[in-house]
Chains A and B, each alone.
Chain A
Amino acid sequence: MNPVLFILGFPGAAAVLLALLPDYRLAARLNVAASLLTLLASAVPFIHRPETTPFLLIDDFNIYLVALTAFVAFTTSLFSARYVLHEVEIGRLLPRYLRFYHAMYQAFVLTMLAALTANNLGVLWVAIEGATLTTVLMVGLYRTHAALEAAWKYFILCGVGIALALFGTILMYLAAEPVMGEGLRAMTWSELLPRVAAFNPALLNLAFVFLLVGYGTKVGLAPLHAWLPDAHAEGPTPISAVLSGLLLNVALYSVLRFKMLLAANPQAVAPGPLMVTMGLTSLLLASFMLYRRRDIKRLFAYSSIEHMGIITFAFGMGGALANFAGLLHMTMHSLTKSAIFYAVGYISQIKGTQRIAEISGLTASQPVLGWALVLGVVAIAGLPPFGVFMSEFLVLTTSFARAPVLAVLVLAGLLIGFGALVLRLQGLAFGEGTGGEKVSNAALLPAFVHLALVLAAGIYLPAPLVSWFQTVAKLLG
């Protein structure tokens, strides 16, 4: 049997099961168990790469993304178990909401994995749309005024984005149909790629614009980013972690799939400049926005926009090294940002606030938590020896050799954002502590595991990962 079916089956079955299960403590454990099973299943393709079917595909591009997604989903479920129980204890969440929450969590994971493994452009779209629906509900979980507003904003903006993406998908089929003939084949990614050179380039261009704007909204590229900060800030923190750690990646993955198609058609307009522009805009906007943030989760949400901007810029620049850097950065950002959100989740629970001004001296009052935050921010800010540094190094060196002006702008954006992050980090983690209970080391294990991986990647990258990255980088043009 195709192992992908297990990868999709575990979260699917778990979602149904959890929707029926009233005991929230058991549900939290089941959630962890299901995530673990998914993670184990996601390891199978490494051993035995499954056949490509019209609907399911595992290739060099998504094999590690599937594993990464399952991994982050698993660690987040660990974090989530502790986090939501605390929320119930302090009465912020009702147990009956948790039933819904856990079911939606698994449903969300299902949509993410489905989007990654989809070989069919239509299925991809449906999965992304499903991801929107599931997360909207979770963003609004607290039922506060602000949470509902954030959920609504998220829903409307992403709804429009999804609609535009569908139009792009239709246009893509339209472009494919004369060459591929009618039927499923013309929507099957693995069939399209070898023959895309013969497609009508004008249609491809048009399709790509809609897909870029559509899925780009989910990626959080400026000026389509408006939903992202509030959705991260107002929902439960595990959701912020998976939004940043998974959803943004998957949305970007979708854009990249289409970029590969364009890259393989010599007559199509190079998608590079469009992506470079949007990436740069996101980076610069987000880096300035970081300075005026007063909410700790919104701060890191803007940092996600910034990093999505960098990644998009890297892919926009293209070339083997920049694409490699983009892929690496996707992975690193996913791990690091979710780790940061784990820490931030505990911080806001302990301090009872998300306001930056009311938190200080964490390394003094909660050393382990404080240092976890320091490490996370140091990693995300692009300081070595963490992996983000490697990707930023590659992006900057290669782009400076080709387009110095753009590279200088990127560096300016990076430095401005860096300044804001360090400034806030110093306020949060250093200075006089303000008390509060301590967090056990075990609770922070997921964060430290993520950071250890990011650290390891900055020093040594395993050969298979590198060769996958290089294959994909070549395809991305």
Chain B
Amino acid sequence: MSSVPFELLQLILVVVLAPLLTGIVRKVKARLLGRRGPALVQPYRDLLRLLRKEAVLAPSASWLFRAIPYMMFTAIWLAAAIVPTYTTGLMTSRIADLIALVALLGSARFALALAGMDVGTSFGGIGSSREMMIASLAEPAMLTVTFTVALLVHSTSLPQISEFMLTQAVGIRVSLLLGLISLTMVALAENARIPIDNPATHLELTMVHEAMVLEYSGRHLALIEAASMVKLLLYLSLIAAIFLPWGMGTEQTLGWAALGLGLGSYAVKLGTGAVLLGVFETSIAKMRVFRVAEFLGGAFLLGILAAIFLYVSQGL
């Protein structure tokens, strides 16, 4: 059976689900704070509204400023499509392994940081500078997690990792737990969530991601917002694919039956993740920017520890 429809499904799925995921997180947070909160579909409405507006450009904005939203959105979109969601059997997932995935996200971030510098304002610079500082620590932390997994699976290919976790009796391992914690910390940082950054704030001196995209408006802003949403989805999918791959289909089971199970379990995982994220964000305060280095340094060390624990548990 041709895999093309499934590939396309994957591609569309990640884009379509992403705003909903953000909506759920916002809803949970509002409820926990005692507000009613916006409707779950509010993110879709926001995006559509922005898309229809005209784009306002500063006189000093260059062509890069206009090109970057498209490039980064598509890069993140592709990256999200690479992560196995409901099945491990897609060709898309082989385009890039875990390392290349991190790098692809890196390219997107590189572009966005340049956009922050493009207009030549002080806030754009603050945002880019801090974003890159955070990324420079988060990226290696994520790669150490990758190493840990790769040491266990002997592969960095995501479908293989998922299948390995599904089929082998891996058991609960200290190193995997450490890896999970580390990856979660990275995910929080990369998605500009509390305690690293607050996606809802516009308090000038503490914002990071929002400062960087301050000059964007209209369709460009819509793309950037959408990209952030897809990225959140990507990270949740990634955690699910590596640590909780249950319910996923494989290349052999690629078909409508497995699709149901795969999609169902995927939805459950995403929903749970969104709720947990909402709960976590309401129960913790944002930290100072320079504490972030320590936070991510911790993630980095946890990643290395995970690798070393793996040797210990495997008896070298």
Q: Do chains A and B touch in the complex (CB under 8 A)?
A: no
